[in-house]
Amino acid sequence: MPRSNVSHIPEPPLAKFLFANPRIAWIWLLVRLYVGWEWLLAAWEKLTSPAWVGGQAGAAVHGYLLGALQKASGAHPDVSGWYAWFIQNAALPHAVLFSYLVAYGELAVGVALILGIFTGIAAFFGTFMNLNYLFAGTVSTNPLLFLLELFLILAWRVAGWLGLDYYVLPKLGTPWAPAKK
């Protein structure tokens, strides 16, 4: 039943300018290309290593996860207890699967961001991976990529404007706006 007293709160002008204005799409293109390139480089390193996707698949992930577990103890652990439990009980027993998921997930995110296709979704999955690396106690470039991906998620309407989203999204539509025929 619709509510008769629902208020509409308009989008602030700055947010509208940054996240919905096609004139700012070139900035999002630069952000997309940088973040996508970083993911592509990370994926390439893994895809060319037998410890990730070759005959020794899972070895690199296994070592990484054991290192993360060592950071889960002490007075101020870098890895939370609940995440250490996840590593011990879900990730380590399936290190080979996680090895392939990480390598090909990084590749998919990198390619999608560079091409500007499903930009918001790709940025979401990049954010998900960055969060997992951070939860595992690895800082590196993860906070910066996480922040940039959050902005890409907010700017999804124009972040792919100078990319394939410009052509694909109008044809596919969204749940709240059907595709244009």
Q: What is the mean pLDDT of residues 141-149?
A: 97
Share of the chain above pLDDT 70, in %: 97
DSSP letters spanning 107-145: HHHHHHHHHTSSHHHHHHHHHHHHHHHHHTT--TTHHHH
In a domain? residue 49: yes
* 148 inside domain: yes
Q: Is residue 87 part of a domain?
A: no
Classify residue 107: in a domain, yes or no: yes
Number of helical H runs and strand E runs in the chain: 9, 2
What's the confidence (pLDDT) of residue 38? 98
Between 4-13, 33-42, 93-102, the lowest mean confidence (pLDDT) is in: 4-13
Bridge partners (DSSP) of residue 178 are 173
**Amino acid at site 107:** L
Q: How many domains does the chain have?
A: 1
Looking up tokens 């950071």 gives 71
- Looking at the domain assignment, is residue 88 inside a domain? no
Overall pTM > 0.95 = no
Residue 124 forms part of a structural domain: yes
- For the segment 54-75, the average pLDDT, to the nearest whole number, is 95
In a domain, 40, yes or no: yes
36 — pLDDT class (breaks 50, 70, 90): very high
Q: Tell me how far apart the alpha carbons of residues 47 and 150 are, in angstroms, rounded to a whole number.
A: 26
Domain interval for residue 41: 25-55+98-178
Residues in Cβ contact with 54 at an 8 Å cutoff, skipping those fewer than 6 apart? none
Q: Is residue 170 in a domain?
A: yes
C-alpha triplet 136, 142, 45: angle, nearest 5°: 90
